[in-house]
Amino acid sequence: RFKELIDKIRSKSYIDKKSLDEIIKELQRILLSADVNVKVVFEISKRIKERVLNEYSQSRGVQLKDLVIKILYEELVKILGEEKRDIIIAKKPFVILFIGLEGSGKTTSVAKLAKYFAENGLRVGVFSLDIHRPAAIEQLEQLVNRIQADVEKIKFINIEGTSLNEKIRTILDILKDRDVILVDTAGRHKNEESLLKELENIYKYLTPDFTILVIDAYMGQKAYDHTLALKSRVNIDGIIVSKMDGSSKGGGAISASVASGAKILFLGVGEKVDDLEPYDPKSFVSRLLGLGDLDGLLTRVERLLKREVHDEKKLRELAKGRLTLVDVVTQFENIEKMGGLYKILSYLPGFSGKFRKEEIDEMETVIRKWKAAINSMTIEEKINPSIIKGSRITRISRGSGVDERLIKNLIKQYKIMQKLMKDRKHKRMFKEMLKSTRQL
Ligand SMILES: Nc1nc2c(ncn2[C@@H]2O[C@H](COP(=O)(O)OP(=O)(O)OP(=O)(O)O)[C@@H](O)[C@H]2O)c(=O)[nH]1
Ligand SMILES: [Mg+2]
């Protein structure tokens, strides 16, 4: 579905408020169907709209659809995490608490991370505080025993028949020589007050150095409220998204990230202790949006943005004071900055009241299309527009989606402007410009 949206944008290379609104609406539908929380979708789409409007005029050479994807990507990873990150083991022992909804994959994730840390040369201690589900502690023990590691590397501890406070104190003491201690807990539902209270107590007695929220990729819309409920009781420092080996797109992770303020660290990609992957922003977002080669696209856009800066410089040197189409674009941008044609005209004697609002809106649309056409031109064409004829016009039209007729008219405008620049009769310039724009 995202692909369809992109194809739709592809056929547009200029933006007006209406078509951007359409794009944003479609984007909202896609994010909602990927299970991103409604509030989050609203926030993200607002940001994207603002940024597209702001950045499009400065991103010459970048197609609108690519710009939309780039901005969407940047906004998403701002929430999810912009890079792969590691848990910094800042002291010894470093205590990590695992929390999450029932069945979210906490116990499996504890075992996966035990293996991960052991492989990184750390001495790991593991224990469980899940006294609610039968056989929960045995499940963790079995998973840990399955890890192929030096027996010395991973130590599993359990003691029975004491209070929560006593149990935590005793086990922490036994494991005090470990580099890192991983603590499993029972699943909590946001409406089970006694379990949430118990979590608060665990947090208080354990004083963990780091708390990981484990969320199931299939959790969807519920992720937001559940995360908020947990966040109101304990700190959340990082997120593991489990079951990413299934068909879910993992949109719930965005909700969990927003609600907790924490970033994604790892993904669970299977039931075995080896099935752990570090989070990678590009592949996570590609999957969420169902986009194949996001990496390639982002690299291309970056390159284009860099090259444009370079091209501009070269262009300025070559043009040496001549009126180029880049200057024309700058003029158009100045008009926009000054509040649009309507405002400018109302200040010019002889013009105020001459045009109806709709006529001026129409002219502004034409100007936007001209800008798109200029974006599709080569440097030579921008400096010396008189070479733009025949097959060049066809090419520019195809590249920008702007009608050939409009491009020819742009060249005509340019020539008029060039002439008028010489005798500096700005008033007449406007008059002529507007007259022939109206004839379109
Ligand atoms: N396919 C797949 N299955 C997973 C993954 N992580 C966990 N599971 C499975 O999901 C189920 C629940 O996992 P647990 O680790 O027991 O979840 P939990 O959060 O500890 O569950 P409770 O302790 O009951 O709250 C088990 O059948 C796991 O094998 C994963 O990344 N991929
Ligand atoms: Mg468990």
CATH number of 280's domain: 3.40.50.300
Residue 93 in this model has a pLDDT that exceeds 90: yes
From CA 46, how far away is CA 270, in angstroms rounded?
A: 36
Q: Do 159 and 28 belong to one domain? A: no
What is the predicted pLDDT for the residue at 34? 78
What is the predicted pLDDT for the residue at 24? 86
From CA 69, how far away is CA 128, in angstroms rounded?
A: 43
Q: Do 74 and 130 belong to one domain? A: no
Q: Which of 99, 108, 146, 239 has the most ligand 1 atoms within 8 A of CB, as the residue to mutate?
A: 108
Confirm or reject: Cβ of 104 under 6 Å from ligand 1. Answer: yes
Query: What integer is the mean pLDDT of 230-259?
Result: 92
Q: What token pair was written down for 436?
A: 């022939």
For residue 250, name the pLDDT band (cuts at 50, 70, 90). confident
Q: Do 274 and 186 belong to one domain? A: yes
Q: What token pair was written down for 386?
A: 């008189």
The CA-atom distances, in angstroms, between 197 and each of 104, 172, 200, 229, 366 are: 19, 21, 5, 11, 63
Q: What is the DSSP letter of 262?
A: P
**Ligand 1 atom closest to Cα of residue 268:** 31
pLDDT digits (tens, 9 = 90+) for 95-121: 999 999 999 999 999 999 999 999 999
From CA 393, how far away is CA 390, in angstroms rounded?
A: 5
Residue 374 counted as domain residue: yes
Q: Do 67 and 112 belong to one domain? A: no
CATH number of 381's domain:
1.10.260.30
For residue 263, name the pLDDT band (cuts at 50, 70, 90). very high
Domain end position, chosen among 253, 279, 296: 296
Residue 113 counted as domain residue: yes
Confirm or reject: Cβ of 269 under 6 Å from ligand 1. Answer: yes
Confirm or reject: Cβ of 220 under 6 Å from ligand 1. Answer: no
For residue 239, name the pLDDT band (cuts at 50, 70, 90). very high
Query: Which residue has a Cα nearest atom 7 of ligand 1?
Result: 105
Domain that holds residue 409: 321-438
* Closest-CA residue to 92 (of 160, 179, 205, 221): 179
Q: At what angle do helices 404-423 and 325-337 cross, to 10 degrees?
A: 90
Q: Identify the helix (H) or strand (E) that includes residue 202.
A: helix 193-206
Residue 175 counted as domain residue: yes
Residue 232 in this model has a pLDDT that exceeds 90: yes
Domain count, the chain: 3
What is the predicted pLDDT for the residue at 384? 83
Residue 267 in this model has a pLDDT that exceeds 70: yes
Q: At what angle do helices 325-337 and 357-375 cross, to 10 degrees?
A: 140
From CA 202, how far away is CA 182, in angstroms rounded?
A: 13
What is the predicted pLDDT for the residue at 21? 85
Q: Which ligand is nearest to the CA of 133?
A: 1
For residue 127, name the pLDDT band (cuts at 50, 70, 90). very high
Share of the chain above pLDDT 90, in %: 38
Q: Which ligand is nearest to the CA of 102?
A: 1
For residue 303, name the pLDDT band (cuts at 50, 70, 90). confident
User: Ligand 1 centre and the CA of 133: distance in Å?
Assistant: 13
What is the predicted pLDDT for the residue at 113? 97
Domain end position, chosen among 296, 330, 365: 296
Domain end position, chosen among 231, 263, 296: 296
Residue 434 in this model has a pLDDT that exceeds 60: no
Query: What integer is the mean pLDDT of 384-413?
Result: 88
From CA 352, how far away is CA 360, in angstroms rounded?
A: 12
Q: Identify the helix (H) or strand (E) that includes residue 98.
A: strand 94-99
437 vs 87: which has the higher pLDDT: 87
Share of the chain above pLDDT 70, in %: 85
Cβ atoms of 179 and 93 closer than 8 Å: yes
Contacts of 110 (CB under 8 A, 6+ apart): 98, 126, 128, 140, 143, 182, 183, 184
Q: Do 143 and 248 belong to one domain? A: yes
